[in-house]
Structure 1
Amino acid sequence: MFNIERLALREQIAAWLKEDIGTGDVTTAFTVPKGQQSKGIIHAKEDGVIAGLPVAEAVFEVVDPHLTFHAFVQEGERVQKGTILAEVEGSTHSILTGERLALNLMQRMSGIATKTAVFVEAIAGLPVRLVDTRKTTPGHRALEKYAVRVGGGANHRYGLYDAVMIKDNHIKGAGSIRDAVSRAREHIPYTMKIEVETESMDQVQQAIQAGADIIMLDNMSSTHMQEAVKVIREQAPHVLIEASGGVTLETIRDKALSGVDVISVGALTYSFHALDISLDLNEKKVG
């Protein structure tokens, strides 16, 4: 499941460590004897879905390749408060230097996975997919989108480069939905999809006539969404339909029942509670 490009991740980790360590971890250097060996026990301090174990392992590898890391749970596993997630063993200096970055990343990723899992549960049994958006933390998009997958969701486009999404400002700039779709179609490869964001039935009709591959129903009421889905299914049954805008746990099932194929939720990656995860030294010994 963990398919983030390894070299790119290590380069990012090195930059994040440099930000944190600077010229050196003065607290550890001045308080912990050199050569001391320890085992760091990583455990959950609240219930949740775990994501980021391979990332935490990579952090400790970059800090010190002599550290050993062993996970006791699987990515995507739902755990209870107090569960031991992993342990890292070796130089106490190295463990303490990498601790904060490893925990920060795991906490954020597990928080995203946990929130995603709750939304997935809310639409269980319905033929609809939950996806994320580009509303991610700069520099952390790959990790955050990975965490969504761990939580049971799926990914929308990764960036501005891998799909055409014509939104309200693009329509204003192009002059019309038809012109925007036509111009995009002239330049993109035939394998690339074109999505059009719509806010009214008139725009839905324009998107159908323009030949959009995906039609987003943005901030529509459940009644209007059902009407739009019916029209699209009748006139363009091949078109994928996405619901977006203001989706909450209270509204997501109604939107799913409208018959859409996909529901996108930006809050998965920008409004989540980071899972409380801690590392405690145990069984330390002086080398």
Structure 2
Amino acid sequence: MNQANPSILQDLIDRAFEEDVSDGDVTTNAIVDESQQAQAIWVAKQQGVVAGLDVAQRIFEYLDPDVIWEPKIKDGTWMGQGSEMVILKGQARALLTAERIALNVAQRMSGIATITRKFVEAVSGYPTEILDTRKTVPGFRQLDKYAVKAGGGRNHRMGLYDMAMIKDNHIAAAGSITSAVQSIRESHSQITVEVETTTLDQVNEALAAGVDIIMLDNMSTEKIKEAVQLIGSAAKTEASGNVSLDSVKEIAATGVNYISVGALTHSVEAFDISQRLTYIK
């Protein structure tokens, strides 16, 4: 899995420390001696998939470049409740001051990876892949999507620049699906084109226009199955709209290629991780 672009990650870490620490951790700096060393252990307080450990390491290294980082588990691995995730040793001030920033990132990323794994497992046995969306926290897009991959999901487009997604407002502006697709093909001949459809008439028009992917948005499972049979191998199919763990298996059974799930990233339940610290005498 590819981690976030290094410059984007560094900017994120810089902003996080400016936001949380600014010109100093007044509590820690007043109580803990600058020379004090400590050891910390990260423990999973629930079961799930880990993601974001490399990012957490970078966060601690921001304050202590010599911190010793000993991961006990790799990103993308399922861990049980009570599992030790990482042991770190270094300056006590750094381990205390960077703790919340590092935990916030790893808890969010592990939460995304965990829910993604649940969706992936729910559709196992079907030739269907789980996709993420652009419903991410601004600035965290690359980390959120990395976490989806750690959970076994697949990234959809990274942004507005790497794929054309024609939605209802674009269709209204162009006058038709056909015109919208033609405009895209004329300006970006090699780009992947997907169109959002809500009716079988729109599916037929998208097929005639020769799009690469047809999104079946908020359709019933019966209508999705009918659309998938209509499309055949002429285009890839993606089901979208209010997908849940309760409904995803039934949707996969229609034969759709992809199911996109906004909840993977827009409604994250943070994974519970604790940092246990002991001072080294």
TM-score (norm 2): 0.98
Q: Distance in 2 between the 1:230 and 1:45 partners?
A: 45
Aligned to 1:86: 86
Structure 1: which 5+ runs fail to align? none
Confirm or deny: 8 A CA contact 1:232 1:239 kept in the other structure.
Answer: yes
Q: Is the aligned partner of 1:54 residue 2:54?
A: yes
Confirm or deny: 8 A CA contact 1:2 1:54 kept in the other structure.
Answer: no
Runs of 4+ deviating beyond 4 Å: none
Q: Give the deviation of 1:125 after TM superposition.
A: 1.1
Question: How many residue pairs get matched?
Answer: 281
Identity of aligned residues (%): 48
Alignment of 1:1-287 (within 5 A): 1-190=1-190, 192-233=191-232, 237-282=233-278, 284-286=279-281
Q: Distance in 1 between the 2:143 and 2:89 partners?
A: 25
Letter of the 2:280 partner, please give it. K
Q: Distance in 2 between the 1:226 and 1:18 partners?
A: 51
Q: Distance in 2 between the 1:81 and 1:232 partners?
A: 44
Confirm or deny: 8 A CA contact 1:197 1:217 kept in the other structure.
Answer: yes
Deviates more, 1:72-81 or 1:139-148: 72-81
Confirm or deny: 8 A CA contact 2:207 2:234 kept in the other structure.
Answer: no
Q: Distance in 2 between the 1:48 and 1:27 partners?
A: 33
Structure 2: which 5+ runs fail to align? none
Q: Distance in 1 between the 2:188 and 2:48 partners?
A: 41
Letter of the 2:53 partner, please give it. L
Q: Give the deviation of 1:230 after TM superposition.
A: 1.0
RMSD: 1.0
Q: Give the deviation of 1:127 after TM superposition.
A: 0.6
Q: Distance in 2 between the 1:247 and 1:8 partners?
A: 31
Q: Distance in 1 between the 2:30 and 2:90 partners?
A: 18
Confirm or deny: 8 A CA contact 1:132 1:154 kept in the other structure.
Answer: yes
Secondary structure (helix, strand or coil) at the match of 1:278 reads strand
Letter of the 2:147 partner, please give it. A
